[in-house]
Structure 1
Amino acid sequence: MKFSLIQTSELDPEVLRQWMALRHGNVMYDSPYYHPAFTTIAGNARADARVLLCEENNHLMGVWPFHAETAFRAVSIGGFLSDYQGPVRLPSQHWKMTDVLKTMQCRHFGFNHMPSEFADFKHHAWIESQSHTLDLTGGYETYVQRLSEKRDASLMKKVATNERKLAKKYGELRFEMQSSDLADYQALLKGKSQQFERTVGAAHDIFRLDWVCQMLEEIRLANEPGFAGMLSTLHAGDTLIAAHFGMRSEKVLHYWFPWYDTTYAEFSPGLVILAQCAKHAALLGLTSIDLGRGDQAYKLRFATGANALCEGAISSPALLATAQAGLYHSKQFLKQSSLGQQLRKLRQTKA
């Protein structure tokens, strides 16, 4: 088994062909994050993008795109934009991580959206999570039936009621699954920036980063059968009240950046646009919508399944990752302890 390292600009047609072949037949790799187009776009936006190749007898056995942020540290391709991480490889492949890190020319690789089925990564994980999904196999009506049996039988009736109320008060509803309207896209980005400012502060607004904006713009313009950006919009009359920007592969729509105008919050436009996306995604032949990691209420209400993820790190020497795991567990213990609760109350009092 031979490991080598290339830049994304060195991905030639044969490597891309074999990469696509590695994805075939593995449901997990249906995510657009594992499509080579996502890596290529990340490489166009960031000069630190690299691809680890694993070959055996002149056959490509696996690829692992990442960012070499420093001589010490590497992160998944797309950085914090990546909701699915790790290598694209044959199921039989289990790599010796010291060899991998040596080829990557780094000592530490942290991950937080790694599929748990990667046993050689899960062994180094200290947290588990999940990414909720909508199973659209069989079409929208079949999905609604699954949802009614597993979750809330009245959810879609509530959504339909809100659609009628919105239309009656603000004008006829108009939904577009794949819009090319630049003004609507810019309105979504502005709305998401304002949301970041309200919730975590302007300093943490990812849409202020040039490489993020470049990646999202390239994804927005991508429109191939196996990879495309998806801007979905919901208007009431002539007014944009909700939008979503994500990307799709051959089978999966990754639900990425939803937004709605809080003026219309009482009618739950965020739920309305997700329901519309589910209906139209099924018509496009997509078999799943992936809502990403997190247990937000809307995800729990719409999901019919979930993909298991984990968070952790690999390092050389291994002590680095072990120490990081210990620090994490110590923080969690303190947070849940009575002392931690007292410290939080004290901070809230001072605020």
Structure 2
Amino acid sequence: MDVSVHHPDELTVADRAAWTALQSAAQPGGRPQMANPFLSPEFTLAVGRCKRGVRVAVVREKGPSGEPVAFFPYQRYPAGLGRAVAFGMSDCQGLVHRPGFQWDADELLAACGLTLWEFDHLTVGQHPFEQSATGSFASPVIDVAEGWDAYLARLRAKSPTFTGTTLAKERKLGRHHTDVRYVHDERDPAVLRTLMEWKSAQYHRTGLADRFARPWITQLVQQLFQTRSEPFAGILSVLYADGRPIAAHFGLRTERVLAVWFPAYDPAFAKYSPGLIHMMHMVQAAARDGIAYLDLGRGDSRYKDSFKTDELRVSEGVVSRRHPVALVLGKSHAPVRALADVVSSHAEVLGRANRLLRSVGMPRGPGKTP
């Protein structure tokens, strides 16, 4: 393989256009997950500006044209340990590639200076990586390719009580409150801050770690909110009542896919189920905008089960090279962060790892990874 490794900011305009073109061809080509916004160059670029160690391997055709045939975004840690970009935050991971492209995982990781690469939302069709998967999981989706009316009819047939109750609560909300309206693409950053406050409070209520307590995640969301390209955008949609937001969602879209990411609502309006009302409007607006499906992300949830029409699959695991460091760390299946701690605490192993990685070549780009 002809592979070069770059910091995301080093990618040329032509390279980014080629990456986007591969994604645009994926949906009609029967590989819908590859069109996911989390696999877009804009997402990797944004993460690279918030986190150190983000790199992109560009695989090119051999010969005069040198056209890119694949892009592999990853995040590198000490001693060549690697993870998917924004691991734990991104809902779709893998190599974006031309149809029919085949690659050797060991060769690709060596070109990236990696001993191993960890993933938790690997898209389907990545056989060289899937062979190392330790689990496969459902990622619910809402198919609106046939339009809103077709979807609503399908929802009524599948969940008549849920659909009727949600629509009735919206009517009740309208009777008891004024100026009930939905905005699909809100550009007010103050509303985004409100959404993040709601989400933080939800994390605390449910006993989950507050993602927005981590400055890089807040920075990433704010940056993506300002990101607009063709066809990528960060989309903030909002349900209003009495002149103020009562439910909102921030997610990412490409030409045909909307990734559902951060939904939340004002608990003061909980009796109206504003999150469900908001979701109804968001699905309708997405269908109107030409979205083929909304990706709800891996994980169980009552609202996902209610709205979904189908499920895609994602997998998790660790793919490793035939490499001395991988053999030393190797078959424990511990997370990469834990492995990095093990390596860093053993000077002999770390020294050997760094010497070996230098012998195969390190990624080029500004600065050092952490």
TM range (shorter): 0.7 to 0.9
Q: Which residue of 1 aligns with 2:44?
A: 39
- CA shift for structure 1 position 281: 1.2
Q: Equivalents in 1 of 2:202, 2:168: separation in Å?
A: 27
Determine helix, strand or coil for the equivalent of 1:92: coil
The 5 A counterparts of 1:150-299 are: 151-200=158-207, 204-299=209-304
The 5 A counterparts of 1:63-82 are: 63-82=71-90
**Equivalent AA in structure 1 for residue 321 of structure 2:** S
Do structure 1's residue 108 and structure 2's residue 116 form an aligned pair? yes
Instruction: Indicate if the aligned counterparts of 1:174 and 1:237 stay in contact, CA closer than 8 A.
Output: no
Do structure 1's residue 121 and structure 2's residue 129 form an aligned pair? yes
Q: Which residue of 2 aligns with 1:62?
A: 70
- CA shift for structure 1 position 300: 0.7
Q: CA RMSD in A?
A: 1.9
More strand by share: 1
Determine helix, strand or coil for the equivalent of 1:257: strand
**Equivalent AA in structure 2 for residue 70 of structure 1:** P
- CA shift for structure 1 position 284: 1.6
Q: Equivalents in 1 of 2:191, 2:7: separation in Å?
A: 34
Q: Equivalents in 2 of 1:115, 1:135: separation in Å?
A: 18
Q: Which residue of 2 aligns with 1:9?
A: 9
Count how many residue pairs are aligned between Structure 1 and Structure 2.
323
**Misfit runs of 4+, over 3 Å:** 317-322
Instruction: Indicate if the aligned counterparts of 1:30 and 1:251 stay in contact, CA closer than 8 A.
Output: yes
Q: Equivalents in 1 of 2:331, 2:159: separation in Å?
A: 42
Q: Which residue of 1 aligns with 2:357?
A: none
**Equivalent AA in structure 2 for residue 230 of structure 1:** I
Q: Equivalents in 1 of 2:189, 2:5: separation in Å?
A: 38
Determine helix, strand or coil for the equivalent of 1:78: coil
Q: Equivalents in 1 of 2:162, 2:291: separation in Å?
A: 22
- CA shift for structure 1 position 247: 1.3
Q: 1:169 to 1:24 in 2, by over 3 A?
A: closer
Structure 2 length as normaliser, TM-score? Answer: 0.82
Give a deviation string over 1:171-205, Cα, whole Å, max 9, x none: 3411111111222111111111112222335xx32
Match for residue 141 of structure 2 among 117, 125, 133: 133
Q: Equivalents in 2 of 1:157, 1:148: separation in Å?
A: 8
- CA shift for structure 1 position 47: 2.9
- CA shift for structure 1 position 321: 5.4
Q: Which residue of 1 aligns with 2:318?
A: 313
Determine helix, strand or coil for the equivalent of 1:197: helix
- CA shift for structure 1 position 35: 1.7
Higher relative contact order (CA 8 A, sep 6+): 2
Q: Equivalents in 1 of 2:2, 2:211: separation in Å?
A: 37
Determine helix, strand or coil for the equivalent of 1:62: strand
Q: Provide structure 2 residue ranges, at least 5 long, that are not aligned to the other structure.
A: 27-31, 335-370
Q: Equivalents in 2 of 1:263, 1:248: separation in Å?
A: 29
Determine helix, strand or coil for the equivalent of 2:122: strand
Q: 1:250 to 1:14 in 2, by over 3 A?
A: same
Q: Equivalents in 1 of 2:276, 2:156: separation in Å?
A: 16
Q: Equivalents in 2 of 1:46, 1:114: separation in Å?
A: 21
**Equivalent AA in structure 1 for residue 79 of structure 2:** A
Q: Equivalents in 1 of 2:331, 2:25: separation in Å?
A: 35
Percent of aligned pairs with the same amino acid: 31
Instruction: Indicate if the aligned counterparts of 2:117 and 2:318 stay in contact, CA closer than 8 A.
Output: yes
Give a deviation string over 1:94-153, Cα, whole Å, max 9, x none: 32222122122122211110013222222111111021111111210011123334x313
